[in-house]
Amino acid sequence: MGHIIKVFKESMLSIASYVVASVDVIKEYQIEEFIKILLDSYSRGSKVIVVGAGRSGLIGRAFAMRLMHLGFNVYVLGDTIVPSLRPNDLMIAISGSGRTKLVITVAEAAKSVGAKVIALTTYINSPLAKIADMIVEVPGRTKISEQNDYYLRQLMGIYEPLAPLGTLFEVTTMVMLDAVVAELMVRLGKTEEDLKKLHANIEI
């Protein structure tokens, strides 16, 4: 049992350290542009559709929920109530590898109708990144781990068994998007009480 707890603690500390270190890796100008595009969508009342597959999709849902709390006209691809996209609408596509076929396909469809696509990915030369109007680079090992990932992880003290597959990308993306929400709250003059007013009130 002691061995299990030891690995558990090492994993939590390693992942947390990686997220902290990522603050200096994430490009502030990309975050600023991302926020400005979101604010523009908010002011226009444009639709925002979030897409991701697997765990990235779950993180996208969490972000979409917070955007809804802020008053955005937001949807998650795959839900039955997703409306059609129009020019000036926005798609936020999340894929660490930038190669997820589902995400690429819907991003291409969004572009074809004149919507703007923002890619959250680790790889700026990936198929998704090449489609996107703008990219937010999120550091983190993904399932298509490359040599550069390996050296970065070694420097930051991360080893595969402690953060398997896409964990580092997914956790870093989650924290980054929550930080984006905090910035949006300030710029929109929203308080936690404002968010609570839009929170579901029929939960059991």
**What is the DSSP secondary-structure string of 154-196?**
HHTT--GGGS-TTHHHHHHHHHHHHHHHHHHHHHHT--HHHHH
**C-alpha dihedral, 120 to 131 to 93 to 167, nearest 10°:** -50
Neighbours of 51 (CB within 10 A): 26
Q: What is the CATH number of the domain that holds 85?
A: 3.40.50.10490
Question: Which strand ranges, in their side-by-side order, compose the sheet holding 47-52?
Answer: 73-76, 47-52, 90-94, 116-121, 134-137
Q: Which domain holds residue 81?
A: 2-190
Task: Confirm whether 37 is domain-assigned.
Answer: yes
The predicted model scores a pTM of: 0.85
Is the confidence at residue 121, as pLDDT, over 90? yes
DSSP 38: H
pLDDT tens digits for range 153-196: 555 555 555 666 678 899 999 999 999 999 999 999 988 887 87
Is 78 in contact with 84 (CB distance < 8 Å)?
no
Separation of alpha carbons 193 and 198, rounded Å: 9
> Does 164 reside within a domain?
yes
Name the catalytic one among 170, 192, 193, 203.
170
Q: Is residue 181 part of a domain?
A: yes
d(C-alpha 73, C-alpha 90), whole Å = 10
30 lies in some domain: yes
Q: pLDDT class for 109, splitting at 50, 70, 90?
A: very high
Phi and psi at residue 116, to the nearest 5°:
-90, 140
Query: Per the domain annotation, does 200 fall within a domain?
Result: no
Has residue 147 got a pLDDT over 50? no
Q: Which two tokens stand for residue 157?
A: 């003290």
Q: Domain for residue 198, yes or no?
A: no
CA distance 150 to 143: 12
- Give 59's contacts (C-beta < 8 A, 6+ positions apart): 52, 94, 170, 173, 174, 177
**Does residue 62 form part of some domain?**
yes
Residue 197 placed within a domain: no
**Tokens standing for residue 147:** 């040599």
pLDDT-derived band of residue 150, with 50, 70 and 90 as boundaries? very low
Any catalytic annotation for residue 170?
yes
CB 109 within 8 A of CB 137: no
Nearest to 15 by CA among 177, 146, 170, 178: 170
Q: Are residues 53 and 103 in contact, defined by beta-carbon separation less than 8 angstroms?
A: yes
* Stretch among 7-21, 40-54, 154-168 having the lowest mean pLDDT: 154-168
30-39, 45-54, 120-129, 192-201, range with the lowest pLDDT: 192-201
Is the pLDDT reported for residue 75 higher than 80? yes
Q: For 115-139, what is the mean pLDDT?
A: 95
Average pLDDT, the chain: 86
Domain count, the chain: 1
